[in-house]
Amino acid sequence: MDRILRGPATRRVPAESGVRRLRNGTFGRFGTGAASPSLSGVNLADRPARWAGIAVDAASGALFAAALAFQAVAIARSWGGGFWQFDLAAGAVVCALALARRRWRARTAVAGLAVAAAAVAVAWSFGLPSEPGPAMALGLSVLVGSAVRRLPPLTACSVAAGGGAVVAGSALAAAASASGSAVAVLAGAGWVAGLAAGSALRLLGVRREAAAERVRRDERLALARELHDVVAHHVTGIVIEAQAGRLDARGHPERAAESFVRIEDAGSDAMAAMRRVVGLLRGADGADRATHGPEGLRELVERFRADGPAVRLRLPDGDAAWPPEMAGTVYRVVQEALTNIARHAPHARSVAVGVARDRDAVTVEVSDDARPSAARQHRGGYGLIGMRERVEAFGGTLTAGPRPEGGWSVLATLPVPDRRHR
């Protein structure tokens, strides 16, 4: 069995030292002590967004200032006296709250709506210029849009309804004054614009988050499949060695120590395989793909044959017989099928592994002569799921079950892509 699991030579360390290193997170790629992509708690990836926010706030501040100045001059010319002072003060407060929205989004929105509602009531009660003015309407639009985009649904709806109430109050006050109708229309337009922009950005954010979650889920599934496909073969070997060691301890105690050495080597090989999987998932998969060709398949069968049943391997003539993009799937199907035989049919006497290629498809079949057991027929898990997903990703089919003549068979058919139409 010591030939089933092969890998780079690994220096052995005491178990206590290994546990301590594992707890301290110093096992290379699998440790938790890796450097964080952020420095001193500052995420460098957030800097562009932060500078963009500062630029938006600066532009908004300039726009607010221009609107306040325009409104003050317009009121001073048309109304005279100090009528412009109240409008300027109320508008400046709402605009300041709009600029501070990023830190206190809900509070600034509620405060801005309260100031606007009070301004509408005071202007109507004392015969002042109609509110909200252009600057205040602009600030309210920003506050409503920001709240609708970022706040929880119930709070966002409440802020939007509050903005609608301010617009309705402005319209009622404008009904008593012909000059106030334009102000009410401007306030309504600002409220609708803020509501529409906030809703659109919120929907866009939800879609982006859903897409990101799908990517994360796909990555987790890919990691689960890769870890199962690569490591399950090694773990099965460890279990078999442990069973053999238990038998040796009963009948041949002097040979039990050799079993422990092989188990340790198998564990080291499993760790090396896991590191290769992590390297593959990180994109460094060029070298690993080379082992998935015919030579890699022969080595896989030889490792299985060393301490397992006899294996007949049949491959197409020539390395170009199956497309290279299918090599990984062919390898994984054979690897998983052999692992299942070692795990669920250790009493099998012969195994046949065949890869055939015709004009339209590549066919992979792994069969054994073991009598199917109930546990094997009802077995589930990532193994069969992973094989089927890999095969179906190429538009192929996979079947697994007992053969009419006895034994078990796994059959995968992969259609050959037509390169002439690429």
Packing angle, helices 83-99 and 134-150, rounded to 10: 20
Determine the residue type at 242: A
- Which two three-digit tokens encode residue 365? 């079949």
**How far is residue 261 from each of residues 255, 265, 267, measured CA to CA in Å?**
10, 6, 10
**Residue 172 falls within a domain, yes or no?**
yes
- Of the three residues 213, 246, 261, the one that is the final residue of a domain is 213
Confidence of residue 91 (pLDDT cuts 50, 70, 90): very high
The string of pLDDT tens digits covering residues 353-385 is 999 888 888 899 999 998 766 555 555 555 677
Q: Out of 36-45, 249-258, 261-270, 354-363, pick the least confident.
A: 36-45
Question: β-strand 350-357 against 310-314: which pairing, if any?
Answer: parallel
Average the pLDDT over 308-329 and give the result: 75
Domain final position from 192, 213, 234? 213
> Do 307 and 209 share a structural domain?
no
Does residue 42 lie in a domain region? Answer: no
C-alpha triplet 299, 301, 305: angle, nearest 5° = 115
Q: Are residues 205 and 91 in the same domain?
A: yes
The predicted pLDDT at position 249 comes to 77
The answer to the question of residue 411 being in a domain is yes
CATH number of the domain within which 411 lies: 3.30.565.10
- High-pLDDT (> 70) share of the chain, %: 74
Tally of structural domains, the chain? 2
Confirm whether 296 is domain-assigned: no
* Strand segments (E) across 274-407: 310-314, 350-357, 361-368, 397-402
The token pair that represents 101 in the structure block: 């929205």
- Domain assignment present for residue 34? The answer is no
Six token digits for residue 401: 């079950």
Q: % helix / strand / coil in the chain, to the nearest 5? A: 70, 10, 20
Angstrom distances, CA of residue 239 to CA of 291, 340, 349: 25, 13, 20
Mean pLDDT within 216-239: 73
- Residue bearing the bigger pLDDT, 407 or 273: 407
**Do 209 and 310 belong to one domain?**
no
Same domain, 412 and 312: yes
85 assigned to some structural domain: yes
Q: Residue 34: its pLDDT value, please?
A: 36
Question: Which of the residue ranges 49-58, 91-100, 297-306 has the most confident prediction, judged by mean pLDDT?
Answer: 91-100
- Of 147, 181, 213, the last residue of a domain is 213
* The predicted structure's pLDDT at residue 373: 63
Predicted local confidence at residue 113, as pLDDT: 94
Domain assignment present for residue 23? The answer is no
Q: How far apart are CA 310 and CA 77, in angstroms?
A: 102
| Residue 290 burial (CB count, 10 A) | 12
DSSP category for residue 401: E
> pTM for the full model?
0.48
- Kindly give the interhelix angle for 253-281 and 181-251, rounded to the nearest 10 degrees: 160
Residues 61 and 204 in one domain: yes
**190 lies in the same domain as 320:** no
- Answer for the pair 303, 264: CB distance below 8 angstroms, yes or no: no
Give per-residue pLDDT as tens, 61-82. Answer: 899 999 899 888 888 888 877 7
Q: Please state whether beta strands 350-357 and 397-402 pair in parallel, antiparallel, or not at all (unpaired).
A: unpaired
Q: Is residue 287 part of a domain?
A: no
CA angle 189, 77, 179 (to 5 degrees): 40
Q: Which residue, chain included where needed, has tokens 């006050």?
A: 173
What pLDDT digit, counting tens, does each position of 168-193 carry? 988 888 776 655 678 888 889 999 99
What is the per-residue pLDDT for 258? 79
Give the separation between CA 10 and CA 30, rounded to whole angstroms. 16
Residues 201 and 59 in one domain: yes
> Do 312 and 203 reside in the same domain of the chain?
no
Cα distance between residue 355 and residue 374, in whole Å: 28
User: What was the pLDDT predicted at 234?
Assistant: 73
Is residue 102 domain-shared with residue 206, that is, in the same domain?
yes
Domain enclosing residue 326, as ranges: 303-422
How many residues are listed for the chain in this entry?
Answer: 422
